Amino acid sequence: MSGPLHGLRIVATMPPHPWFGGIDYNFAVEMSDELRALGADVFPLNVGCIITQNEVYIRDSIQALKSFKPDVAISLPNALYALLCATPQHENIFKDILEIPTLMLWDHGLLQLPQQILGPLPAHNLSMGFLINPIHSINGSPRKPIPRSQPTLTISTR
């Protein structure tokens, strides 16, 4: 099919169907269909088999992707799914193995991605101090009121 994306070869992440009640999966299917309607060749990559670290599936998928020769990867329907596409050796399939650009749609990344970006959190006691101490140094103790400048509001009745 011709279209503005004709000739573009895209690997698209397909989330596990049961996650979020199938909503992410359905969005990814619809978005992939739209890319195809614009003329792109789309390879749907099942993220569900990757997150379980199914080495046979991961190996076979990488081989199939190398044969497909994608120009770009797109994380559908949001950025999390591309970050989950890693081998048991922690190599990202798109960045480290295929060495292709990856489009990542940011949705609610601040709440969704800290573990993928920062790695595992330190032990509980360290993490609490790691988080609370800088907050105390900026805002003061949570038991004491934080000094704030009082804005002055002047209302004219003229």
Summarised one tens digit per residue, pLDDT across range 3-37 is: 899 999 999 999 999 998 999 999 999 999 999 99
Cβ neighbourhood burial of 155 (10 Å; 0-12, 13-18, 19+): exposed
Domain of 34: which CATH number?
3.40.50
**Residue 146, pLDDT above cutoff 50:** no
Summarised one tens digit per residue, pLDDT across range 73-92 is: 999 998 889 999 999 999 99
Q: Which residues contact 26 (CB under 8 A, 6 or more apart)?
A: none
Domain that holds residue 73: 9-137
Does the N-terminal peptide bond of residue 77 adopt cis geometry, omega within 30 degrees of 0? Answer: yes
Whether residue 30 lies inside any domain: the answer is yes
Q: What is the pLDDT of residue 118?
A: 61
Whether residue 90 lies inside any domain: the answer is yes
Distance between CA atoms of 50 and 134, rounded to whole angstroms?
Answer: 37
Tally the domains of the chain: 1
| Residue type for position 105 | L
Whether residue 146 lies inside any domain: the answer is no
Spell out where the chain has E strands: 9-14, 41-46, 72-75, 102-104
Q: Which residues contact 17 (CB under 8 A, 6 or more apart)?
A: 25, 48
Please check whether residue 43 is in contact with residue 14, taking contact to mean a CB–CB distance below 8 angstroms: no
> What pTM does this model have?
0.69
Whether residue 122 lies inside any domain: the answer is yes
- The total number of residues written for the chain in this structure: 158
Please check whether residue 1 is in contact with residue 38, taking contact to mean a CB–CB distance below 8 angstroms: no
